[in-house]
Amino acid sequence: MTKESSPKSAKPKEVVRLIGVAKEYGDVGALAPVDLSVLAGEAIVLVGHNGSGKSTLLSIIAGMLEPSEGTVLVHGQPPDSVYARERRSWLPDTPVLYDDLSVREHMEYTIRMHGGRGDEPIIDDLIGRLGLANRQDDLPSQFSRGLRQKAAAAVALVRPFTLLLVDEPFVGLDVAGREALLGLLEESRKGGATVLVATHDPAVIERFKRGLVLDDGHVVHDGTAESLHAYLSADVTHGES
């Protein structure tokens, strides 16, 4: 594993802390013991082949999976604490939406669950930017995979958060949707949120400042986007030789 030293300046707050976190399913190890620290405002991309442990890692931070061993802290609290849930938004790889609520109703409801009124302008803003204006009152059960992904993204982004976890967000999205989502992720980061994105898409890697490579449940590289490019190129070359 390669690890770069971080610059010594006024140290931002630690948003995510993993100490020896591992996950096993029966006799199959999905994630080897991982130590990780993510600071406020970081934008991190997780890359790795299928089954490398990206989704498992994100799901553990999201509180959807419980680690077999180790400690997970989100803002210094357990990931299933109300405190962590207030501040963490999670966009899973498979959109999870109610079949009997429209996109707009999902968003209004989600905002209200997070202390809003449900008529905030961000709803219209997100609907417009993700190209859902004509479908905002339709039920997601009638949507294609890409539209469902957009709807799920809108629901995940409409609420307040300081940590955004996104798993394979570009699957099924058209070019416009992909660009819109990338723009929204960038805005979230600029707004001070910490963003962790797992993706197979090499074209988006350069948009992130830090990259982690997972292989067979191990973090084998942790560095800047440039070093990640170099690592991946070397890995590909090594694999071909």
Partner 1 sequence: MTDQASSNNSEVTTTPPPLGPDKGEAASGAAGFGIDQTMSSVAMDEMRGARRRRRIGDVAWGDLAYRVYTTALACLVFAVFASGWVGDSELAAHSVASVKEFGPIWAGLFTALAVLLGVRSGTRAGPLALEAADVYHLLLAPISRSRVLRRPAVGVVGYGIATGMTVGALVGSLCSQRLPGNTFEWMVSGALFGGAAAALALGAALLTASRRIQRPWIELLAWAVLVTSVASVLGYLPFAPLTLLGKILFWPLSFDLLPLLVVGIGVVLAVAGLLTIGGLSIELAQRRTRLVGQLRFAVTQQDLRSVLLLRKQLASERPRNSSRFSRIPIRFGSRFPVFTRDVQSIGRWPWVRLLRVTVLGLGAALSLYGAWSGTTPLILLAGLCTYVAALDAIEPLAQEIDHPMMLGSYPEPAGVLLQRHLVAPVLVMILICSEGLALIWVLHPSVNVLAIGAITVLTASLTAVAGASVSVVSESVVDAGDAAMMPPEVTGPRVVIRTLWPPLLAVIGVTPILVAQRAMRLSNDPIPPALTLAIPILVLAGIVFMWVKYREDLHRTMSEAMGAKT
Q: Of 75-83, 169-177, 208-216, 219-227, which segment contacts partner 1 by CB under 8 A?
A: 75-83
193 or 213: whose CB is closer to partner 1? 193
In the complex, the smallest distance separating the C-beta of residue 66 from partner 1, rounded to whole angstroms, is: 5
Site size toward partner 1 (CB under 8 A) is: 66
Q: How many residues does the chain have?
A: 241
Report d(CA 44, CA 212) in Å as an integer.
7
Reference 204, options 51, 45, 43; nearest CA is: 45
Give the span between the Cα atoms of 80 and 91, in whole angstroms: 16
Task: Select from 2-10, 85-93, 169-177, 216-224 the region that touches partner 1 (CB under 8 A).
Answer: 85-93
Task: Among 1, 96, 176, 236, indicate the residue that binds partner 1 (CB under 8 A).
Answer: 96
Q: Does 142 bind partner 1 (CB under 8 A)?
A: no
Q: Is 208 in the site for partner 1 (CB under 8 A)?
A: no
Scanning the structure block, which residue is given the tokens 């997972």? 214
Choose which of 4, 49, 98, 200 interacts with partner 1 (CB under 8 A). Answer: 98
**Own/partner long-range contacts of 199-207 (Cβ < 8 Å, ≥24 apart):** 199/45, 199/46, 199/47, 199/168, 199/169, 199/170, 200/47, 200/168, 201/170, 202/47, 202/232, 204/45, 204/170, 205/45, 205/47, 205/229, 205/232, 207/43, 207/45, 207/182
The CB density around residue 103, as the number of other CB atoms within 10 Å, is 27
- Work out whether 120 is an interface residue with partner 1 (CB under 8 A): yes
Applying CB under 8 A, the span of 120-128, 174-182, 196-204, 214-222 interacting with partner 1 comes to: 120-128
Binding-site member from 162, 168, 170, 221 for partner 1 (CB under 8 A):
162
Tokens of 10: 């006024």
Decide: residue 81, CB within 10 A, 0-12 exposed, 13-18 middle, 19+ buried.
Answer: middle
- When asked if residue 26 is in the footprint of partner 1 (CB under 8 A), the reply is yes
Out of 4, 174, 179, 187, the residue judged to bind partner 1 by CB under 8 A: 187
Contact yes or no for 150/131 (Cβ under 8 A): yes
The mark string for 53-72 relative to partner 1 (x by CB under 8 A, - otherwise) is ---------xxxxxx-xxxx
Asked if residue 35 binds partner 1 (CB under 8 A), the reply is no
Give the residues lining the site for partner 1 (CB under 8 A): 13-14, 19, 25-28, 40, 62-67, 69-73, 75-78, 80-83, 85-87, 89-90, 92, 96-101, 105-106, 109-116, 118, 120, 122-123, 155, 157-162, 164, 187-188, 191-193
